[in-house]
C-alpha cells in the first residue's frame, strides 16, 4: 500500500476517523492502531504478518526480562541473546543467497554445485527497519533509558506502527514508547504542519522523484552502454535528486500522518546536499539511521577513543556494515566503504592545523559543498547500479564524449527544483504554515483536496515504488 495512492488515503482516513473517538480509552486506542498497522502490512503480504508479530513479541519479552533483572551479567546475556536472534532472522531472509554464493566461490569444488540454484527467501517488506526497532527496544531497556515498566502491547505497537513500518524513520524506543503510555491530546495536534508535510512529501515523491525515475534515471541505468559521458553524468545527478526526494518525501508523509494521529517522529533529513563535509552529510542524511549506527555500533566498537587508527577502523566497519544493511550485494558494501573512506579522509583533513584559516573561508565552504556533492554522487553509482560490473561500466562511460541528449527542459526543471529546494530558507515553510493556519477550516480542507487532485492530474501514469521499500 503506497502512500501516494487512493487505497492509502482511504485507509488513513478510516484509521484517523476511528482512532480519535477511542483516544479517551488508551488501551482500545492503541489496540486499534496495532490492528490497523497489521492490516497495513498485510495489504502487501499477509503471510509475513506473523513474522512481524513474532519479532515484536520476542523483543518485548526479552526487554521485560532485562528490565526485571538486577544483575548486569544476566541483563547483558539477555540482550546478547535477543540481538543474535533478531540479526539471525534478518540474515536468513536478506543474506542467505549472498552468503552461500560467496562461500561457494571461495570453495575449490564450487563448480560441482553450479547446477543448484540458490535463492534467498522472499524478502519481507521493511524487515531491516522493524528488526532495528526490535534491537533498539532491547538496547534502550538495557541502558535504562526506559524507566517505566514495559508493557507488551506498547512494544508491539512501537515496532509495527504503520507510518514508519516499511521505510522508517527509525524510532528510538526511549522516545516513542513514552508517547504510547498516554493518550494523545487533541488540542495539541499540529494539524497544519501535518498537512503541509504530507503535501510536501507528495510533491517530492510524485512530481520530482517519480518523474526523474521514468524520464531520466531508469532508462539511463538500464542501458548505460548506449549513452555517452554527458548523458550518464546527468543521469547520476538525477539519481542523487531522485533518491533524496523519494526517501525524504516518504519521511515527510510518515511524519505528517503520525502528527495527525497525535505522535511525534524525529526529523530524518535536513538539506543533506548543502553539507560541507562527510560528517555533516551524515548528520543531515537519513538521520535516524546514521544516529542508530553511531549509538549502537560505532560507539560500542570504541568510537573515537583510542587514537587515529582505531577510530578509522571503527568508522570503516560501521559504514561497511551500514552499506551491507541496505542490500546483499558487494556494490552496497563498496558504497558504505566509500563513505567510510570519506569520513576518514575528512578527519585527516581536520588534523592539518595550517589549513584552519582556509577551511573557515566562504570560498572553501562552497568548494567543499561542490566536492562533497560529487563524491556522494560517485558513491550513488554503486548504490543504484544493478551489479558491480555495471557500476564499473558506468564509470567507464564518463570517458566517452558525445552529445547531451537527455537534457530535456522538464528534466532540467526537476533537477533544479530538487536541488535548489534544499537551499530555501527554513523560515519559508514556517511562514507558509502560519499563513495556512489563518484560513477557515473548510477552506483549508478544500485547499488540501485541490492540491492532492492537482498532483494526481500531473502524474496520470501512476507512482514509482519507493526506493527504500527494498531494504
Catalytic residues: 326
Dihedral, CA atoms, 241, 244, 245, 249, nearest 10 degrees?
180
Torsion of CA 150, 154, 160, 162, to 10 degrees: -140
Distance CA 56, CA 175 (A): 17
CA end-to-end span of the chain? 16
> Which alpha helices (DSSP H) does 213-355 contain, by range?
218-222, 229-261, 278-282, 287-293, 299-301, 308-326, 330-350
Is 271 exposed, middle or buried, given 0-12, 13-18 or 19+ CB atoms closer than 10 A? middle
Contacts with 147 (C-beta within 8 Å, 6 or more apart), sequence order: none
Contact at 8 Å (CB) between 298 and 314?
yes
Mapping DSSP to helix (H, G, I), strand (E, B) and coil, where does residue 407 land?
coil
Q: Which of 177, 162, 154, 142 is nearest to 41 (CA)?
A: 162
Amino acid at each position: 500500500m503506497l502512500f501516494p495512492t487512493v487505497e492509502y488515503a482511504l485507509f488513513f482516513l478510516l484509521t484517523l476517523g476511528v482512532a480519535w473517538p477511542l483516544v479517551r480509552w488508551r488501551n482500545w486506542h492503541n489496540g486499534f492502531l496495532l490492528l490497523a498497522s497489521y492490516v497495513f502490512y498485510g495489504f502487501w503480504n499477509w503471510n509475513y504478518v506473523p513474522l512481524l508479530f513474532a519479532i515484536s513479541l520476542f523483543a518485548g519479552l526479552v526487554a521485560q526480562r532485562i528490565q526485571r533483572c538486577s544483575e548486569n551479567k544476566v541483563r547483558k546475556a539477555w540482550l546478547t541473546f535477543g540481538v543474535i536472534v533478531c540479526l539471525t532472522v534478518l540474515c536468513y531472509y536478506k543474506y542467505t543467497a549472498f552468503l552461500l554464493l560467496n562461500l561457494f566461490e571461495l570453495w575449490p569444488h564450487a563448480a560441482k554445485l553450479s547446477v543448484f540454484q540458490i535463492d534467498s527467501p522472499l524478502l519481507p517488506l521493511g524487515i531491516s527497519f522493524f528488526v532495528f526497532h526490535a534491537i533498539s527496544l532491547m538496547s534502550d531497556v538495557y541502558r535504562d533509558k526506559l524507566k517505566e515498566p514495559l508493557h507488551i502491547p506498547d512494544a508491539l505497537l512501537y515496532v509495527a506502527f504503520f507510518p514508519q513500518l516499511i521505510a522508517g524513520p527509525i524510532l528510538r524506543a526511549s522516545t516513542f514508547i513514552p508517547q504510547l503510555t498516554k493518550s494523545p491530546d487533541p488540542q495539541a495536534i499540529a494539524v497544519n504542519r501535518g498537512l503541509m508535510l504530507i503535501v510536501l512529501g507528495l510533491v517530492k515523491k510524485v512530481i520530482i522523484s517519480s518523474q526523474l525515475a521514468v524520464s531520466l534515471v531508469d532508462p539511463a541505468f538500464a542501458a548505460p552502454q548506449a549513452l555517452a559521458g554527458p548523458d550518464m553524468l546527468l543521469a547520476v545527478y538525477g539519481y542523487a535528486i531522485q533518491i533524496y526526494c523519494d526517501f525524504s518525501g516518504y519521511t515527510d508523509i510518515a511524519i505528517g500522518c503520525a502528527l495527525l494521529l497525535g505522535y511525534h517522529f524525529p526529523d530524518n533529513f535536513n538539506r543533506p546536499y548543502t553539507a560541507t563535509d562527510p560528517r555533516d552529510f551524515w548528520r543531515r542524511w537519513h538521520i535516524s539511521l546514521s544516529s542508530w549506527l553511531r549509538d549502537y555500533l560505532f560507539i560500542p566498537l570504541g568510537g573515537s577513543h583510542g587514537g587515529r587508527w582505531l577510530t578509522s577502523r571503527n568508522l570503516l566497519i560501521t559504514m561497511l556494515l551500514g552499506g551491507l544493511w541496505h542490500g546483499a550485494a558487494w556494490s552496497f558494501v563498496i558504497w558504505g566503504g566509500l563513505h567510510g573512506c570519506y569520513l576518514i579522509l575528512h578527519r585527516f583533513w581536520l588534523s592539518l592545523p595550517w589549513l584552519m584559516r582556509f577551511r573557515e573561508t566562504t570560498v572553501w565552504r562552497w568548494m567543499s559543498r561542490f566536492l562533497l556533492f560529487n563524491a556522494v554522487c560517485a558513491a550513488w553509482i554503486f548504490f543504484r547500479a544493478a551489479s558491480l560490473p555495471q557500476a564499473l561500466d558506468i564509470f567507464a562511460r564518463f570517458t566517452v564524449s558525445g552529445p547531451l541528449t537527455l537534457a530535456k527542459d522538464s528534466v532540467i526543471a526537476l533537477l533544479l527544483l530538487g536541488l535548489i529546494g534544499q537551499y530555501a530558507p527554513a523560515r519559508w515553510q514556517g511562514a507558509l504554515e502560519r499563513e495556512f493556519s489563518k484560513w477557515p477550516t473548510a477552506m483549508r480542507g478544500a485547499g488540501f483536496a485541490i492540491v492532492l487532485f492537482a498532483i494526481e492530474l500531473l502524474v496520470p501514469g501512476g507512482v514509482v515504488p519507493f526506493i527504500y521499500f527494498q531494504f
